């Protein structure tokens, strides 16, 4: 059973609605944010939105060697990965407080199985 008796379903519904509103607000905030990842000491930078869309890629002229395109390609991949890591960190910070759910151990509704 539940400590203290049956759960108050109206209170759970109110908490669920609040969580929904907070989740939508956090998702909007995340989508509007931008992060930048770099590689090669800043020779290549990639900018992404918080939702993971690549919006810009900047390559310094010094990174362009026609005889060594493989290094440039590696730098581009590394910069995009760095930006993705930054997006993941931002998402964890933004959405993390919501991961606690609606109460109960480990989040959820405080009901077994949820």
Integer CA distances (angstroms), 87 to 53, 81, 105, in order: 10, 10, 28
Which CA distances in Å does 50 have to 39, 43, 63, 87, 94? 19, 22, 27, 5, 10
Q: What's the predicted TM-score (pTM) here?
A: 0.67
Average pLDDT score over residue span 6-20: 84
pLDDT at 107 over 60: no
Average pLDDT, the chain: 83
pLDDT band for 30, please (50, 70, 90 cuts): confident
* pLDDT over 70 at 96, yes or no: yes
The sign of the dihedral angle between the CA atoms of 37, 73, 60, 31 is negative
Query: Could you tell me the domains of the chain?
Result: 34-98 (3.30.1310.10)
8 A C-beta contact, residue 64 and residue 100: no
Q: Which of 6-10, 14-18, 82-86 has the lowest mean pLDDT?
A: 6-10
- The 8-class DSSP code of residue 104 comes to S
Give residue-wise pLDDT tens across range 32-76.
899 999 999 999 999 999 888 999 999 999 999 999 999 999 999
* DSSP β-ladder status, 54-59 and 34-39: unpaired
Contact indicator for 33, 90 with CB cutoff of 8 Å: yes
Q: What is the mean pLDDT of residues 27-36?
A: 87
Chain centroid, CA 64 distance in Å: 31
Among 71-75, 94-98, 106-110, the least confident range: 106-110
- How far is the C-alpha of 27 from the C-alpha of 43, rounded, in Å? 31
């Amino acid at each position: 059973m539940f400590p203290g008796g049956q759960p108050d379903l109206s209170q759970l519904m109110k908490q669920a609605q609040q969580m929904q509103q907070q989740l939508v607000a956090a998702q909007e905030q995340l989508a509007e944010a931008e992060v930048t990842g770099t590689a090669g000491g800043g020779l290549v930078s990639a900018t992404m939105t918080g939702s993971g869309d690549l919006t810009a890629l900047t390559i310094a002229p010094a990174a362009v060697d026609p005889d060594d395109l493989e290094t440039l390609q590696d730098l581009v991949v590394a910069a995009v990965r760095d930006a993705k890591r930054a997006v993941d960190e931002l998402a964890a910070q933004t959405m993390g407080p919501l991961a606690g759910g609606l109460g109960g151990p480990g989040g959820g509704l405080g009901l077994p199985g949820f």
